[in-house]
Amino acid sequence: MQRAIELARQSANPSPNPRVGCVLISPDGDVVGEGWHDGPDRPHAEVVAITEAGQRAAGATAVVTLEPCNHTGRTGPCVQALVDAGVGRVIYGQSDPNPEAAGGAGQLRAAGIQTEGGLMAAEARDLNYTWSFAMEHGRPWVRWKTAATLDGRVAAVDGSSRWITGEEAREDVHLLRAEADAVMVGTGTLFSDDPELTCRLPEVQRQPLRVVVGQRAVPAKARIRLAEPMSAFVHVPNRQPEYALAELRRRGVHSVLLEGGPTLARAFLKAGLVDSITWYCAPLLLGAGREVVPSLGIASLAAAMRFKVSQLRQVGDDVRIDMEPDPGLDGS
């Protein structure tokens, strides 16, 4: 299974599909086929491994990171491919949380194939954490990214905000964009910054969907609208976070990088729809200016929103802090 997980990681980001790796082992213990899934319209990991194995797939054991799918989408069901190849045994890690594709294990057993699940399930799930979250919760996973001074300011009194953080931190943000299915801002940020929201890493294979949330129309010459590919842009003319996430879920989005300003951040925080925070803290003091988030209506320390730090590291002259909500510490 460890090898199957390593193979799955060969795929940079196959979204909207999950990362999957597969190893075929002969009855003699030899590896006869390996594969991973590269993305939409590409063969699934099991099919790649079966193709490599050829006739040696008969009687083999398939070790797969995710329960083989049991539905026909852009490609056929992996269950049927395994049955047709004569595979004798299937061992998988994570059970498929996608209701449209689940049930593969039962179909394999019905076909007479010995099937076991749960091997290194946690490690297999970590391959597709945001995809799994979206399947289990019915909405995209949301990471809020912000950059602020030591005193929590995102802009000076004169409105200037470029640049609070250094070049290294700004480059690091492009890694976050490369991981996300969608990057979101509100109309306030759109009109104040005219952002492009593309990932400018040279090796990026897929640009995230660029999303503007708000009722004001997006100008025809806005950079976010004209950036390539132009099809990777959507305007959600609604201020409600729940509505925006439902619309993105309908479009196959599983993860969102929230890059909007304080107003949009407050809306998502108050709605309880921030699943992770990446905070770039710059060694600057302003003393006044726009705050990282406006009033949340919290009157006491006991009622504060609390977060658990999962990672802290220096990025250039700035500090990156990764946090997740901790309900066990929430005083509200």
Cα 188 to Cα 86: distance, rounded to the nearest angstrom: 58
Q: Known catalytic residue: 46?
A: yes
Q: Exposed/middle/buried for 37, CB within 10 Å: 0-12, 13-18, 19+?
A: buried
> How many beta carbons lie within 10 A of that of residue 222, not counting itself?
19
How far lies 4's CA from each of 17, 45, 82, 305, in Å? 17, 9, 16, 39
On whether the CB atoms of residues 155 and 282 are closer than 8 A, the answer is: no
Catalytically annotated residue among 46, 100, 228, 291: 46
Q: Which residue has the tokens 């100008």?
A: 219
Sign of CA dihedral 284, 288, 290, 292: positive
Cα 70 to Cα 225: distance, rounded to the nearest angstrom: 38
Cα 62 to Cα 46: distance, rounded to the nearest angstrom: 8
Cα 89 to Cα 312: distance, rounded to the nearest angstrom: 43
Rounded to the nearest 5 degrees, what angle is found at the Cα of 293, between the Cα atoms of 290 and 296? 130
On whether the CB atoms of residues 265 and 234 are closer than 8 A, the answer is: no
Q: Alpha-carbon dihedral of residues 277, 281, 287, 288, nearest 10 degrees?
A: -50
Residues forming the active site: 46
